[in-house]
Chain A
Amino acid sequence: MFRYIKSALNIFVLLTVLTGLIYPAAILFVSQTAFSNRANGSLVSIGNKTVGSSLLAQSFQGDQWFQPRPSAVGYSGTTSGPSNLALSNPALSAQIKKLSETYRRQNSLSPSTAVPADAVTESGSGLDPNISLINAELQAPRVAKARSLNLGVVESLIKNATSSSPSYLFGTKTVNVVILNLDLMKLRVR
């Protein structure tokens, strides 16, 4: 038995060096050399000040900002995850009802207006940076008013932040709310 333990220890050390040190170091080297922006979190900045990642939703307070999808964990970035509420759970229906009312009130929509599903459901990561196009369009008049901007200007920024990926590769069409708000901010800075 001792012989086996000894071989096990030796091989374990070898494999730990190969897969736990050399392999990740090599990947880190290539990542930082060839894709440094992406490997470091696709950071976005204003001037030379980093203000977030285009891949992570942040909290935006006030009518002048487009709102990201609701999050079950907040937007602090130190944690992530979904609500895990089941469709059969009354707590989910109650939460959707409440979020729908808030959304209608915020955007001055009549009670009969349908709200987009992504605006009233919590995302999977809690950090979903995207919203649907219809969600962005419903928020646009509010943002334009709060910023005293022409609706057309805001809509062109929405268009700029929209990207679509091929649906035959399970892609979707989404608006990046971080990029959108960043563009709004830059409008003011300029």
Chain B
Amino acid sequence: MTTSALAGLAILILTLVVTAPLLGRYIYRVYSDEHQSRETKLNKVERRLLTWLGVDPNSEQTWKAYAISLIAFSMVSVLFLYLLQRVQNHLPLNPSHLTSVSPALAINTAISFVTNTNWQNYAGESTMTALTQTIGLAVQNFVSAAVGLSVAVALTRGITRHRSGTIGNFWVDLLRSTTRILIPMSALVAIAMVSQGVIDNLTLTKCISTISGGHQCIPGGLVASQEAIKELGTNGGGYFNANSIHPFENPNYITNFIEIYAILIIPFSLPFAFGKFAGRRREGITIFVVMMLMWATSSLLLLHFETSTNQTSLIKADKIVSISGGKVLPEGQDLRISTPSCAIFAASTTSTSTGAVNCALDSLDPAASGVALFDMMLGEVSPGGVGSGLYGILIFAILAVFVSGLMIGRTPEYLGKKIQGAEMKLITIYLLISPAAIMILSAIAVMVKTSKGAIGNPGPQGLSEIIYSFVSTGNNNGSALGGLSSNTDFYNITQAINMVIGRFGLMIPALALAGALAAKQPVPQGTGTFSTDKPLFASILIATIVLVVGLTYFPVLSLGPIVAHLNLAR
């Protein structure tokens, strides 16, 4: 690990620590009743628009109505995206004459983008037309993130409201998330990106005769506008197959740095918004610190494994001089994107729900890709996806409070709300449903001959590829060990099922929990109240997250990445 890599990490952390609280405060204002009932021009326009579309902007919803609205919206999204892919060959902006996307792949992709997963069983440039990318995939990059934000705000309201039958209005939250947070931020990032060389044009494909007289087709498309929301919405679905390694998606060190920052900033700012909602800043800061410690640890581990381990034997055997002075073979890496940034990018994408890559994860040290796998197994709460990270960690916080309450023999409570049987049932469903789906589907994939044939690398790495694909889709991440050839009916369908369970199987219990907590009368704080804004609670929270995940997944981690790493070290 070099000093410059650590300096880069420190600059990144500093930028986040300074800007996340500011954005958190702004996000609070976007959703707070106090600010939204004001008679500003924007509020008036928004209300008129909603009324015109048949939504009463002042009405509130119960958790059930909120959940049904969310599901109705997601169903419409899946249907539209599916149909768009099926008929894209008849639509404009298709100069390369791409064909209609096959049914299984279209279902997989539609669900993948609607669930904020962005798992891609296709190569963007040779499968999706510019129209499909722009009015289909990029739209879902926005709205799937907005749905995540809405659920996070709904759960926050549930925790902080007293004796309330409602948790907000889904349509209002969805619209505000998109227009007041995601669009303005994406516009800034997109312009910054294009100023550095990310393309944005309607030329589409330009075929030319090269310098030495060869032939090359230079791809085009509306890339910068999509690239910005790809990172900010923790989506990760690349316009091109190479994703953020492609020079047109990530041309230099500035765009590389912006991309890492854009992935992290919204998830890291949400705890501050939560603190404002609760009226207790320190509660938000505690959550932020937990997220930050976990993400920084993962970054350091990845840096360590990727820059100081076992590739020396390969290098020595063939008398290869490494270029960066380290011991790394840049297989699957582009030179302008340094190896340390690849490690931090991988830690950031897998700790959020972003499936982007800026180097090939399958060619990393197996221990490094193992850390990335573990990040996703944590349920993506460090800091997690846009919205999903906050509601995920709040669920863990309530679990931590419950466990501590049992140990000291008091009724557990979080921010004054008693945690009882009904809440714990919902939390248990939330925590178990996705790992169960992941494990069962992985087990089937390993047993079925045809699905095993999709493996790209022999030995334990092959097992890792299968496990990684189901952990990634089950946690709505989208990151992949690219060696797995998973554009088959088996994977398209099983992954689609896994993504639906991983998204709605978690969102519905989270909303139900919001409803249950909103209805409660808070209990007054006493001297015996276990405080949730102290370092002690932060440590218990981290231990809870790591233990729950460790107990669930350790066996499979040891058969995949751990064995592969030890084999390489021999």
Chain A positions within 8 Å of B, measured between CB atoms, are: 1, 4-12, 14-16, 18-21, 23-24, 26-28, 30-32, 34-35, 38-43, 46, 49-53, 55-56, 58-62, 65, 69, 75-90, 92-93, 96-97, 100, 111-118, 120-132, 134-135, 165-172, 174, 178, 181-182, 185
Residue contact B53 to A38, C-beta cutoff 8 Å: no
Q: Is the CB of A172 within 8 A of B215?
A: no
CB pair A115–B76 under 8 Å, yes or no, is no
Of the listed residues A1, A10, A69, A80, the one surrounded by the most CB atoms of chain B closer than 10 A to its CB is A80
Query: Closest 3 CB pairs between A and B?
Result: A170-B341, A124-B245, A82-B360
Residue positions of B touching A, CB distance < 8 A = 2, 4-5, 7-8, 11, 49, 53-55, 68-69, 72-73, 75-77, 80, 96, 123, 125-126, 134-136, 138-139, 142-143, 146, 171, 174-175, 178-179, 182-183, 186-187, 190-191, 194-203, 205-206, 208-212, 214-220, 222, 224-226, 229, 240-242, 245-248, 251-254, 256-257, 310-311, 314-315, 317-324, 328-338, 340-341, 344, 358-360, 362-366, 456-461, 481-483, 564, 567-568
* Residues of A contacting B314 in the complex (Cβ-Cβ under 8 angstroms): 87, 92-93, 96
Question: What residues of B have a CB within 8 angstroms of the CB of A75 in the complex?
Answer: 214, 216
**Bound form: Cα–Cα A135–B242 in Å:** 24
Chain A nearest CB from B176 CB (Å) reads 12
Q: Which residue of A lies closest to B69 (CB)?
A: A4
Task: List 12 contacting pairs A-B, 8 Å CB cutoff, sorted by A.
Answer: A24-B226, A27-B194, A40-B203, A78-B96, A80-B123, A81-B241, A84-B362, A90-B458, A93-B317, A96-B318, A128-B335, A132-B335
Cross-interface CB contact of A169 among B8, B209, B460, cutoff 8 Å: B8
Question: Could you say which of A21, A77, A168 contacts B135, with CB atoms under 8 Å apart?
Answer: A21
**Contact, CB under 8 Å: A170 / B344:** yes
**Residues of chain B with a CB closer than 8 A to A128's CB:** 247, 334-336
**Which one of B77, B190, B229, B321 has the highest number of Cβ atoms from chain A below 10 Å of its Cβ?**
B321
B143 nearest CB neighbor, chain A only: A15
Which of chain B's residues has its CB closest to A56's CB?
B247
Q: What's the Cα separation between A1 and B217 when bound, in Å?
A: 49
Inter-chain contact A88/B457, CB cutoff 8 Å:
yes
Q: In the complex, which residue of chain B has the Cβ closest to the Cβ of A64?
A: B212
Residues of B within 8 A of A69 (CB): 335
Distance (whole angstroms) from the CB of A130 to the closest CB of chain B: 4
Is A174 a contact partner of B335 (Cβ separation < 8 A)?
yes
A5 CB contact (under 8 Å) in B72, B247, B319: B72
Known contacts A14-B49, A53-B218; is A85 also within 8 Å of B142 by CB? no
Q: CA–CA, A8 to B70, complex, Å?
A: 8
Given contacts A19-B182, A182-B211, 17 further A-B pairs with CB under 8 A are A10-B53, A18-B179, A51-B210, A59-B216, A77-B216, A78-B205, A81-B241, A82-B360, A84-B456, A86-B456, A86-B564, A100-B319, A113-B319, A114-B321, A125-B240, A169-B254, A170-B337
Contact A87 B366 (CB under 8 A): yes
Q: Is the CB of A79 within 8 A of B241?
A: yes
Interface-central residue, B191, B198, B200, B226, by most chain A CB under 10 Å: B200
Q: Are A58 and B211 closer than 8 Å at their CB atoms?
A: yes
Determine how close the nearest CB of chain A comes to the CB of B126; give it in whole angstroms. Answer: 6
CB-based contact B54/A52 at 8 Å:
no
Task: Assess the A135–B323 pair: CB atoms within 8 A.
Answer: yes
Instruction: From the candidates A23, A121, A178, name the one contacting B186 in the complex (CB within 8 A).
Output: A23
Distance from B135 Cβ to chain A, minimum over Cβ atoms (Å): 4
Do B335 and A117 have beta carbons less than 8 Å apart? Answer: no
Q: Are B55 and A52 within 8 A (Cβ)?
A: no
Given contacts A8-B72, A122-B332, A168-B7, contact A41 B318 (CB under 8 A): no
Asked whether A84 and B366 contact (CB < 8 A) given A12-B80, A28-B222, A182-B211, the answer is no
Please give the distance in Å from B433's CB to the nearest CB on chain A.
24
Given contacts A7-B72, A81-B123, A128-B247, contact A168 B457 (CB under 8 A): no
